[in-house]
Amino acid sequence: MGDVLAFPSNRPADEPDDVDVPLPKLRDVIGDVLRTERLDQQRTLAEVAGEAAVSLPYLSEVERGRKEVSSDLLESICDALELPLADVLQRAAERLRVDAGTQRGSSFQLRAA
């Protein structure tokens, strides 16, 4: 069973292990949620960064998952977006589940076969 599960669903079984795609990390999904919300609100990086009192490059890096966001600055960004932290975490959890489902999909098919 270990051998079968070692192959993620969406790549062929004869592909080497080192191409295994890692799951997104906390900074990736939080950045993604913040960016999506800002774009949905049709606001610029400059607008949100200004209102949150963070630098534009910092917000940009956070949105792209390049930088860890501190709890305090995340709170400021959430305030600027009028997006409760609970909603950010909820959306991040859902996004991770979708990603995990996509990656795992064929592995389950392999087991069932």
71-100 positions binding its own copies, by CB under 8 A? 71-72, 74-75, 84-87, 89-90, 92-94, 96-97, 100
Closer residue to its own copies, CB minimum distance, 55 or 70: 70
Residue 68 in the binding site for its own copies (CB under 8 A): yes
Q: Return the DSSP state at 12.
A: -
Alpha helices in the chain (DSSP H): 2-5, 26-40, 45-52, 56-63, 71-81, 85-112
Over the Cα atoms of the chain, what is R_g?
Answer: 18
Residues between 2 and 31 that touch its own copies (CB under 8 A): 23, 25-29
Count of beta carbons in the 10 Å neighbourhood of residue 51:
15
What is the binding site for its own copies (CB under 8 A)? 23, 25-29, 68, 70-72, 74-75, 84-87, 89-90, 92-94, 96-97, 100
